[in-house]
Structure 1
Amino acid sequence: MDLTRLYADPSLVLTVSELNRATRALLEQTYPLLWVRGEISNLKRYESGHWYFALKDRDAQVRCVMFRHRNQYLDWQPEDGALVEVRALVTLFEARGEFQLNVETMRRAGLGALYEAFERLKRQLEREGLLDPARKRSIPVFPRQVGIVTSPQAAALRDVLATLRRRLPSLPVIIYPTPVQGEGAAQQIAAALRLAGERAECDVLILCRGGGSMEDLWAFNEEVVARAIAACPIPVVAGVGHETDFTIADFVADRRAPTPTAAAELVSPSRIDLLARVETLARRLRRGAARRIEMRMQQLDYLARRLTHPGERLQAQSVRLAELSRRLHGAHRRALEGKARWVEQLGMRLQRARPDIGALLKAQQMWRGRLARAVTQVLSRTERELDRLAAHLAHLNPQHVLERGYSIVRKQDGVIVRKADQLAVGEPLWLTFASGWARSRVEDKGDPR
């Protein structure tokens, strides 16, 4: 439901579903995930695995739901009356129009200070670059010896040793015993890490312990442990708690494993996988060797076929030489015969192409006579045409007109005057006669009648 429609049209009528849906959207968009402290009341666990309860203080309460995929990661069971802190999303249950919190995680009240200390140390180490992935070292694929930093009484140690024995029984293991919980545990863990680094007996270290509450795992959130891990010259794999547990040691270590068993799998190659790999390589080696032997055998057979007695080779060369001599003589003979035929054909073509001198002389005499007659005719026609053109030209000669008393009148710029309109009074004129010329001036002019 778009709330802008309500502001634009106050008379708009909503259904209950539209109202609840709009309210839920408004609540979820307005409030981020937040922490709420209160006392659990009326806790109900359904067969579906979901938890429904109320969270209350002295003056108010709010309904809460924690779905199975959220509460299954809690390592403790809340009860009515427990004071807790929940991280939840503020929302509305549309079907009943009830305001509620969708809980994502829950912790016992009082752990807030620990979380603040955890985040503060994490930010400090991050600023110093101890959490930078670039500084972390790779875990050796085939370690010669593995060290385990944990308590000898820890169940996690038995799980790690069982996993290492199963995956690679021949891998030597050194245990650096240390308490992993309680007063002074962090200092002793750091001391065990420094001892392992000084003795340099192992190629990789496993720092592990089983699951527990945040207080139980707090030794692995201490700064002294984090700095000991960062300063250790041996790569460290941290396997602390369960998959959902995160400690400062996990962030500083070269690799984090979700569980101690997973840490053991990270540092040890699988004997079964190695044997399968070796068997695969052995099969490839056998196939490759067999192919190389077969190729060499085939090459040997080929060379054996080429290897013959020198006498046989000389005899074969003699036969080859005789064959080439025969082919050479035959080719020479065929070449001579072909040249002879070619010369004969050229003689015949030359004979056919030889000219008839007598016929050519007769034709020459005939063409000479015809040429002389044609020249005479052309000259006669040209002379008559020339006379005609001369008479016509003489008829058109302006000199004859001038001899009859006419003259040519030109203006000063040489333009011939044909009309009186072309002249102005007082304008000078040049007159050309049949013999000679004269200069005159216009005294008067008039229109033709």
Structure 2
Amino acid sequence: MIDTEQASIASPKVLTVSELNRLAKEVLEQSFPLFWVSGEISNLTRAASGHWYFSLKDAGAQVSCVMFRGRNSYIDWTPKEGDKVEARVLVTLYEARGSFQLTIEFLQRAGAGALFEAFEKLKTKLQQEGLFDPAFKQAIPAHPKQIGIVTSADAAALHDVLTTLRRRMPSIPVVIYPTPVQGKGAATQIAKAINSAHERNECDVLIVCRGGGSMEDLWQFNEEIVARAIANCRIPTISGVGHETDFTICDFVADARAATPTAAAELVSPSREALLNSLKQLGLQLNKNGQDLINQREQMLDYLARRLVSPSQQITQQKNQLAQVSHRLTIAIKQQLQNQQNSLSKLTLNLHHLNPQSVLTRGYAFAQTKDGKIINKSNQIKAGDAIHLSFGEGQAEAIVSKTS
């Protein structure tokens, strides 16, 4: 028979699967503090919960990863299959499945740390030189006569820009300054294209653009040679590099920044449809204003017409008034004529009474000297003077024989 104590030593405690996984989890989490790991993303899944599930792999192995919603909401870019990344992680074990996995605390593109440091260093340098100063920004023309585009001739960004320009204002000519936008030496070629546009000076505005990509893909637009070419360009320049969340040194130096190449095309070109609609609205408003003015004038005309007296009535009234005035004038003239005739008769009668000739007819004579002076005093003549006598009928010459 086997002793009970010996049996206990020979048969250790049996763990459940849950207990085993819990112990393994504790050992892993205690053994591996927070650290960085690099790899390539594969099998990426974005769950409805907002969590991200994927694998990090290299040439020889892979490991399952999870980045919970509370953490992935802090990154300003969206990872995709094949992205090379650097992750700050905790090693853990998913107890329910016994799966070894990494819990991602922070995620960045591979090499982003060094690139970001270079980005910030150049940004600070150029900012101190005043290349970002708003006071030196040129205004983007509202109605450019010709638009220049600096980008790759076979880039999707060029297609997007040209499509947008044709849709919005197809009448504006476009000049393309082709250049590689990615790869070794691309920054120098981009700067040459910008300098060429500056020297030719044939456009009113210049778009520098390319589509989205990783920080490495867009790095050519973070090079100092490109930034200085934009700063020296006398043509107003719009930077349309990457997507909404992408920022490059070009964005800060350019006169304006657009979130995407398409947005750059929209910013630089007036909308033909909007202008036509605006013109239509102005036409409608003009017609309305004209009709309102006509209505006001017609209303005023109606008001004044009601104040007018009929011309025929006025003529009749004037005729009646003229007849009355004429009648009164005739009566007045006759009365005045009668009065004058009466006065004339009285004056004629008085004159007749005062007429010396009338006196002479009553036996008196009218005496005058030989030079025609009337003799009314005897001292006017003397004896021997010749005098002239006028009678009621006839005349006589006499010699004065005596005066007294």
Q: What whole-Å deviation, never above 9, does each CA across 1:306-347 have from its counterpart, x for those lacking one?
A: 56659939959x99xxxxxxxxxxxxxxxxxxxxxxxxxxxx
Q: Is the 8 A contact 2:226 2:250 kept in 1?
A: yes
1:73 alignment partner, one of 72, 77, 95: 77
Distance 1:160 1:237 in 2: 12
Task: Note the residue ranges of structure 1 that are not aligned, 5 or more in a row.
Answer: 1-33, 320-449
Q: CA separation of 1:223/1:47 partners in 2, compared to 1, >3 Å: closer, same or farther?
A: closer
- Match of 1:170, SS state, is coil
Separation (CA, whole Å) in 1 of partners of 2:189 and 2:46: 45
Q: Which residue of 1 aligns with 2:187?
A: 186
- Structure 2 equivalent of residue 243 of structure 1: 244
Q: Which amino acid aligns with 1:73?
A: W
Change (3 A) 1:218 1:52: closer
Per the TM alignment, residue 123 of structure 1 is displaced from its structure 2 partner at its CA by: 0.7
How far residue 66 of structure 1 moved from its aligned partner, in angstroms, is 5.3
Structure 2 unmatched runs, 5+: 1-33, 322-404
**Aligned equivalent of 1:172:** 173
- Map of 1:106 onto structure 2: 108
C-alpha distance in 1 between matches for 2:229 and 2:211:
20
Cα displacement string for residues 65-117 of structure 1 (whole angstroms, at most 9, x for unaligned residues)? 254656893354258xx6x42368x9x99x99xx9865454211x34332221
Residues 44, 65 of structure 1: alpha-carbon distance in 2 compared, 3 angstrom cutoff: farther
Quick one: distance in 2 between partners of 1:114 and 1:247?
12
| Aligned amino acid, residue 107 of structure 1 | R
Q: Tell me the residue number matched to 2:36.
A: 37
Aligned length: 275
8 Å Cα contact 2:195-2:229 kept in structure 1: yes
Letter in 2 for 1:166: R
CA distance in 2: counterparts of 1:40 and 1:118, whole angstroms:
23
Corresponding residue number in structure 2 for 1:224: 225
CA 1:297/1:266 → structure 2, altered by over 3 Å: closer, same or farther?
A: same
Residue by residue, what CA displacement relative to the aligned partner does 1:19-73 show, whole Å, maximum 9, x if unpaired?
xxxxxxxxxxxxxxx9x631459977445061266899xxxx9976254656893
Are the aligned partners of 1:74 and 1:106 in contact in 2 as well (CA < 8 Å)?
no
Deviations 1:174-193 (A, max 9, x none): 11122212232222222222
Identical residues among aligned pairs (%): 52
> What is residue 117 of structure 2 aligned with on the other side?
116
1:244 shift after superposition:
2.3
Matches within 5 A, 1:368-379: none
2:86 counterpart of 1:85: yes
Distance in 1 (alpha carbons) for counterparts of 2:239 and 2:271: 19
The amino acid of 1:74's aligned partner reads T
1:261-307 CA distances to partner (integer Å, 9 max, x unpaired)? Answer: 11111111222222211111111111001111222223334444556
Alpha carbons of structure 1 residues 64 and 133: separation in structure 2 relative to 1, 3 Å: farther
2:283 maps to what in 1? 282
- 1:272–1:132: structure 2 CA closer, same or farther, 3 Å change rule? same
Map 1:17-32 to 2 at 5 A: none
| Pairwise CA distance, 1:159 | 0.9
Distance 2:55 2:168 in 1: 46
Compared CA separation, residues 305 and 200, structure 1 to 2 (3 A): farther
* Cα separation, 1, equivalents of 2:40 and 2:201: 55
Distance 2:212 2:173 in 1: 26
Residue pair 1:55, 1:63 contacting (<8 A) in 2 also: no
Q: Which of 308, 311, 314 lines up with 1:312 in the alignment?
A: 314
Compared CA separation, residues 183 and 47, structure 1 to 2 (3 A): closer
Alpha-carbon distance between aligned partners in 2 of 1:263 and 1:42, rounded to the nearest angstrom: 32
CA spacing shift, 1:283–1:289, aligned 2, 3 Å: same
Answer yes or no: is the 8 Å Cα contact 1:75–1:213 preserved in 2. Answer: no
Q: Do the aligned residues in 1 keep the contact of 2:53 with 2:65 (CA within 8 Å)?
A: no
Q: Deviation string for 1:362-408 (max 9, x for gaps)?
A: xxxxxxxxxxxxxxxxxxxxxxxxxxxxxxxxxxxxxxxxxxxxxxx
CA deviation after TM superposition for structure 1 residue 256, in Å: 1.4
Map residues 410-449 of structure 1 onto 2, 5 A cutoff: none
Q: Which residue identity does 2:77 align to in structure 1?
A: Y
- The 5-angstrom pairing of residues 286-365 of structure 1 reads 286-306=287-307, 312=314
Q: Is the 8 A contact 1:53 1:65 kept in 2?
A: no
Q: Rate the CA distance shift 1:226–1:72 in 2: closer, same or farther, 3 A.
A: closer
Alignment partner of 1:242: what SS?
coil
Amino acid at match of 2:113: G
Cα separation, partners in 2 of 1:106 and 1:226, compared to 1, 3 Å: same
Partner of 2:261: 260
SS in 2 for 1:175: strand
- Structure 1 contact 43–51 (Cα < 8 Å) conserved: no
Deviations 1:218-254 (A, max 9, x none): 2111111111111211211111122222111112112
Q: Which is further off, 305-314 or 139-148? A: 305-314
The verdict on how the C-alpha distance between 1:128 and 1:282 changes in structure 2, with shifts beyond 3 A counting, is: same
Aligned partners of 1:290 and 1:266: how far apart in 2?
37
One-letter identity of the residue aligned with 1:187: T
Give the partner amino acid of 2:123: K
Number of the residue aligned with 1:212: 213
For residues 295 and 101 of structure 1, do their structure 2 counterparts lie closer, same or farther at Cα, with a shift above 3 Å needed? same
CA separation of 1:151/1:177 partners in 2, compared to 1, >3 Å: closer, same or farther?
A: same
Code of the aligned partner of 1:242: H
**CA RMSD of superposed structures (Å):** 4.1
Answer with 118-127 or 293-302: which moved more.
293-302
- Cα drift, residue 127 of structure 1: 1.1
- Counterpart AA for 2:108: M
Q: Name the TM-score, length of structure 1 as normaliser.
A: 0.52
How far, CA to CA, are the matches of 2:68 and 2:192 in structure 1?
42
Decide whether aligned partners of structure 1 residues 101 and 158 sit closer, same or farther in structure 2, where only a CA change above 3 A counts. same
Pick closer, same or farther for the CA change 1:104–1:242 going to 2, 3 Å. Answer: farther
Deviation track 1:385-432 (CA, whole Å, cap 9, x = no partner) reads: xxxxxxxxxxxxxxxxxxxxxxxxxxxxxxxxxxxxxxxxxxxxxxxx
